[in-house]
Amino acid sequence: MSTSEPATRARASARPVEALFAPRSVAVLGASDDVLKWGNWLARGALRGAHRRPAYLVNRRAATVLGQTAFPSLSALPGPADLVVIAVPASGLDAAVDDALAAGARAIVAITASSHDTPDAAAAQAALAARVQVAGAVLLGPNCLGVMDAGEQLELATADLPAGAIGLISQSGNLALELALLAARDGLGFSRFASLGNQADLGATELVGALAAHEPTTLIALYLEDFRDGRAFARAAHDAVAAGKPVVALAIAGGAVTARAVASHTGALASDDAAIDAALRAAGVHRVRTPQELIDACSVLLRCRPMAGRRVAVLADGGGHGSIAAAESERHGLALPELSAALCRRLRTELPAVAAVANPVDLAGGAERDVHVFDRIAHTVLDSGEVDGLLVTGYFGGYAESGPEVAAEELRAAGMISAVATATRRPIVVHTMFGAGAAAATLRDAGVPVYATIEQATAALHRLAPRPDPAEIPSLPVPATPITASAAGHDERAQQLLAAGGVPFVASRVVGADTADVLAAADELGYPVALKALGPLHKSDAGAVVLGLGHATALRAAYAELVSRLGPQRFFVQRMAPLADGIELLIGVRWDPRLGPVALAGAGGLYAEVLRDTAVALAPVDQRRACALIASLRIAPLLAGARGRPPLDLDAAAQALSALSRVAAAHPELAELEVNPLLVLPSGALALDARFVHVPEEH
């Protein structure tokens, strides 16, 4: 568990990542005439770029490959090999990498899988990567599908990728293939592609940096199973987004991290998936769940400017499509405002009497008389400023079936729809049931995203809605002196640790097993109090706590009962908190092996795991972000005062969360640290209970 941020950043700036995409020369090790071998694909790809750079084919036995001179080894090449692609059997990988380094390669692509299918595989790959790094080179793979750069005509990937503006980084070969097919169908393509493979050396972080700096790449797409250093990755993605390049990521939880035992609510609720969400949200990355969603997101982000707000209009030719698109838009959190009376009057002059115009706008057959009602209505609606974007849904693209004149007008209307989006600076997204037709193609070519289903179109439009500003990816503090693992005094230590860090606790005292001491503590704290038996007992032991002791007599009786039943050596005397006056929250941090400390706020007490009403962010969180996190909970309205109750102290709750997150971030040895409940009161917030869980020992 190490973040190794400074190392990563320093390394990234100095390393020859560009040699991977824009090498001065290329050598294919294992070039082959056998069409079933990858060395054949790669050799052909290298030769297609031979007018741009020397392409050397290396084969130990053959004198020629693909009709070209083949060289028996890298040392026999007539010139230097800037980029070496290795497609030899696994057993030859180590030697091939060493040969490449000896030949002066600055970049190596290891298509070959690692042969280290042993418990030592990770160590062997690390050793390989170390040799590459010492030599000042970079290695992609092993076990990857290669690299591509459209502008450089570098085609060293085992998948055919159409050219375009997307920089793609993928950890799965078949997935890259599917993305290529889906992109081509949508008229999109790729500027660069790197297949990650095992990420022995080069990982997603450095490659995102390279794509962010690559001018022809205007959007970065990723498929990732393992973030490695997740904070470094988030920072690189954040920088790319800040530089104006949207990042879309399909990230799988639990791909590399084995399932873990969790011991606290925070551990259960701040899941791997939630942690990934938090990291990608902080970086401003669009997260998607499937390949189609990824390409759909690329289409709308490449083709449209963002919306200034969440207000959209739906334009349909038929009430059914309008209703469905409206419902789907609202499901995505978009708003369909009723259009103003003045605007409705203007729309009505264009449409049949039975048309609905208030939003959705239903052409009601108006386009059958003149297909240009689409572009005219689109202009009127968007130019009004009453909405931030427009969804056209249904039949557009099908009027062509009425004959060649109408077909021609429909193509012109498609062009004019695009012009409306440009002129009004507001996006138009189209769903058509004729997605394979000419009008759809014209729209796409003119920069209007077109989708085959209503659900894709509405999901795409919602990606253009305003998003929270990306957070700075928080840096981690210098680790504090570790808390040692030990059963005794657990709760006290958790409380001490957090109280010292600025988390306010309800007043309490720890005293020995002595009646006078217990009574004195209660007098000092003020009644009513709670009494808890401490010591070798586990806190969850039934009956170790007695609540609501209103006076000394009750306290004496509870004390005597606990002593006789549990024989504790010490007691915890706590002022009873005014539970009925406030709301209970859960606040906590889980240390994720990839993403570091992840802060969680949620409904607390009885409701914590039942409601799963939680919000998660990379820790530490400052006061502002802690506020936003708590305010995003479903139960947040209760903090504003419900049923005539006074508003509760959100600021104090946020302060407690922020303080807890700072403490946790300084204690990587604690896998989980939580306060539950945190009682938020009209004035202030009080932690009532705290606990931590150590990172399990490695074995």
Residue number with CB closer to its own copies (54 or 677):
677
Residues 249-268 that bind its own copies (CB under 8 A): 250, 252-253, 255
- Is residue 180 within 8 A of residue 162, CB to CB? The reply is yes
If one asks whether residue 646 binds its own copies (CB under 8 A), the answer comes out as no
Residue numbers 443-462 binding its own copies by CB under 8 A = 452-455
Site string for its own copies, 101-140 (x = CB under 8 A): ------------x---x-----------------------
Q: Does 677 bind its own copies (CB under 8 A)?
A: no
Q: How far apart are CA 351 and CA 373, in angstroms?
A: 8
Residue 419, number of CB atoms within 10 A of its CB? 15
Among 229, 317, 375, 592, binds its own copies (CB under 8 A): 317
Asked if 31 and 42 touch (Cβ cutoff 8 Å), the reply is yes
Which residue, 332, 333, 396, 384, is CA-closest to 358? 384
Closer to its own copies at the Cβ: 159 or 237? Answer: 159
d(CA 315, CA 428): 10
Among the listed residues 76, 327, 342, 500, the single contact to its own copies using CB under 8 A: 327
Terminal CA-CA length for the chain: 14
The residue (of 643 and 699) whose beta carbon lies closer to its own copies is 643
Q: Name 449's Cβ contacts closer than 8 Å, sequence gap at least 6.
A: 299, 300, 303, 304, 429, 430, 457, 460
DSSP 8-class letter at 247:
E
CA 348 to the chain's CA centroid? 44
Which residues 6+ apart lie within 8 Å of 212 measured at CB? 220, 236, 239, 240, 243, 245
How far apart are alpha carbons 655 and 677 in whole angstroms? Answer: 15
Shortest reach from residue 206's CB to its own copies, in Å: 21
Contacting residues for 521 by C-beta, under 8 A, at least 6 apart? 509, 511, 529, 573
Residues 32-61 that bind its own copies (CB under 8 A): 36
Of 222, 188, 167, the closest CA to residue 451 belongs to 188
CA distance 237 to 233: 6
**34, 478, 542, 699: which one contacts its own copies (CB under 8 A)?**
542
Cβ at position 172, least distance to its own copies in Å: 3
Does 505 bind its own copies (CB under 8 A)? Our answer is no
**Shortest approach of its own copies to residue 222 CB, angstroms?**
12
Interface with its own copies by CB under 8 A: which range of 9-17, 323-331, 502-510, 568-576?
A: 323-331
CB of 520 to its own copies, least distance (A): 29
CA distances from 631 to 375, 531, 617, 648 (A): 41, 33, 13, 12
Strands 529-534 and 570-575: antiparallel
Q: Is there binding between residue 632 and its own copies (CB under 8 A)?
A: no
Binding string, residues 217-256; x marks residues near its own copies by CB under 8 A = ------x-x------------------------x-xx-x-
Are 324 and 510 in contact by the 8 Å Cβ rule? The answer is: no
Q: Which residues pair with 646 in a beta bridge?
A: none
CB of 254 vs its own copies, minimal distance in Å: 8
Binder of its own copies out of 168, 175, 530, 617 (CB under 8 A): 175
Number of residues that bind its own copies (CB under 8 A): 60
Longest dimension (CA), the chain: 101
Q: Using an 8 Å Cβ cutoff, are 498 and 588 in contact? A: no
Residue from 349, 644, 698, 699 binding its own copies (CB under 8 A): 644
- Closer by beta carbon to its own copies, 43 or else 294: 294
Strand-pair category, 107-110 with 83-86: parallel
**Using CB under 8 A, which of 289, 305, 565, 624 touches its own copies?**
289
Only one of the segments 104-112, 229-237, 263-271, 318-326 lies at the binding site for its own copies (rule: CB under 8 A); that segment is: 318-326
Residue 177 touching its own copies (CB under 8 A): yes
What is the DSSP annotation of 542-581? TTSEEEEE-SHHHHHHHHHHHHHHH--SEEEEEEPP-GGG
312: contact with its own copies by CB under 8 A: no
Q: Which amino acid is at 333?
A: G
Among 38, 41, 190, 395, which residue sits at the site for its own copies (rule: CB under 8 A)?
Answer: 395
What are phi and psi for residue 2, nearest 5 degrees?
A: -145, 145
Q: Is residue 336 at the binding interface for its own copies, with CB under 8 A as the rule? A: no
Residue 402 or residue 475: which is nearer to its own copies going by CB? 402
The Cα–Cα gap between 13 and 350 comes to 59
Residue count (the chain): 699
Shortest Cβ 326–its own copies spacing (Å): 9
Q: 7 and 15 in contact (C-beta within 8 Å)?
A: no
Q: How far is the CB of 477 from its own copies (least distance, A)?
A: 34
Least distance from its own copies to the Cβ atom of residue 253, Å? 7
Q: Which is nearer to its own copies, 435 or 597 (CB)?
A: 435
For residue 609, the minimal CB distance to its own copies (Å) is 8
Residue 401 token pair: 């079936």
For the bound state, the minimum distance from the C-beta of residue 137 to its own copies, rounded and expressed in Å, comes to 27
Q: Which stretch binds its own copies (CB under 8 A): 171-179, 522-530, 654-662, 691-699?
A: 171-179
DSSP state of 92: G
277 binds its own copies (CB under 8 A): no
Strands 389-394 vs 428-432: parallel, antiparallel or unpaired = parallel
> Binder to its own copies among 4, 402, 515, 683 (CB under 8 A)?
402
With CB under 8 A as the contact rule, the residue among 72, 309, 637, 646 that binds its own copies is 637
Binding site residues, its own copies, CB under 8 A: 36, 113, 117, 170-175, 177-178, 181-182, 223, 225, 250, 252-253, 255, 289-293, 317-321, 323-324, 327-328, 331, 353-354, 394-395, 398, 402, 433-434, 452-455, 542, 606-607, 610-613, 634-635, 637-638, 642-644
